[in-house]
């Protein structure tokens, strides 16, 4: 008799992260990754970010374990939690590598609905990162949890981390290694991003918000990535560094969940 074991993330957990197959994640891992330079007198407070997520239609909140622990009562049961299990600061220099800072087991104890992991494709320390990712991905499968891979080409071998070919390669790496959702950077055009989505195969693609850009550019980029098959966005600073975070969130909702035009999204943002 052949024993068949269910592989892949369960439909139950995947469905929690999406609304009608679309995703809108709010990321707040920048405190570890970037430090105080990203924060002002409002957005340094995790409770401020949680409130933005809850009063809008975000389908996931991305935290490291410390915030997940200490702000649990603010969000638990109200929005899916994505726990980043690796991370680094921006003080140390050298080839990029993001070490494990939380186990999958502990993320589950925190109530994680999905696991997040950053892999710097092309880094000189890529082999260690891939081994860590293997452990994380296989442990997540023990709980049927989805794995979201931050697939970021970076390092001395990567002169341009938004080169379309390199970004597409990173997406393919994520697919081959078993990620369920791939967080990638925008490549500059709808045509080049379409190739990224193709290389992702059956893995879902969300586009990173990245550095804060003007709202009109950001909204157009979001429309572009949705048009070529991405399922949504994983944004952070574009929303919570804005003095109108709810307006930007409403515009994203129109694009992602209602398939609105850029014009319509901009009108909603200004309400």
Rounded distance between C-alpha atoms, residue 37 and residue 171, angstroms: 29
For 37-66, letters b (16+ CB in 10 Å) and e give ebbeeebeebebbbebbeebbbbbbbbbbe
- Picking from 125, 127, 124, 132, the residue whose alpha carbon sits closest to that of residue 149 is 132
- The answer to whether residues 230 and 207 touch, using CB atoms and an 8 Å cutoff, is yes
**Residue 135 CB partners (closer than 8 Å, separation 6+):** none
Backbone angles phi and psi of 233, in degrees to 5: -135, 160
| Residue 37 annotated in active site | no
Q: Out of 22, 65, 183, 204, which one is annotated catalytic?
A: 183
Tokens encoding 258: 């209602």
Instruction: Just list the catalytic residues.
Output: 183
């Amino acid at each position: 008799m052949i024993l068949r074991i269910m592989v892949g993330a369960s439909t139950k957990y995947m469905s929690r992260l999406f609304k009608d197959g679309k995703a809108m994640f709010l990321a707040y891992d920048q405190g570890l990754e970037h430090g105080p330079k990203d924060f002002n007198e409002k957005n340094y407070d995790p409770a401020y970010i949680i409130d933005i997520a809850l009063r809008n239609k975000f389908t996931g909140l991305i935290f490291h374990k410390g915030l997940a622990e200490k702000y649990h009562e603010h969000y638990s049961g109200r929005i899916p939690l994505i726990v980043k299990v690796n991370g680094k600061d921006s003080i140390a220099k050298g080839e990029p590598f993001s070490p494990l800072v939380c186990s999958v087991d502990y993320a589950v104890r925190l109530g994680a609905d999905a696991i997040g992991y950053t892999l710097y494709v092309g880094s000189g320390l890529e082999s260690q990162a891939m081994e860590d990712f293997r452990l994380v991905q296989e442990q997540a499968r023990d709980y049927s949890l989805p794995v979201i891979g931050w697939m970021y080409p970076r390092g001395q071998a990567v002169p341009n981390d938004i080169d379309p070919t390199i970004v597409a390669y990173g997406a393919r790496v994520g697919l081959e290694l078993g990620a369920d959702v791939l967080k990638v950077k925008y490549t500059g055009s709808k045509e080049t991003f379409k190739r990224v989505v193709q290389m992702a195969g059956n893995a879902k693609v969300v586009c990173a918000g990245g550095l804060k850009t003007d709202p009109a550019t950001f909204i157009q980029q979001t429309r572009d990535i949705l048009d070529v098959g991405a399922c949504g966005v994983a944004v952070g600073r574009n929303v919570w560094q804005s003095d109108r975070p709810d307006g930007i969130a409403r515009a994203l909702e129109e694009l992602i969940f209602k398939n609105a035009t850029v014009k319509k999204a901009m009108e909603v943002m200004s309400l």
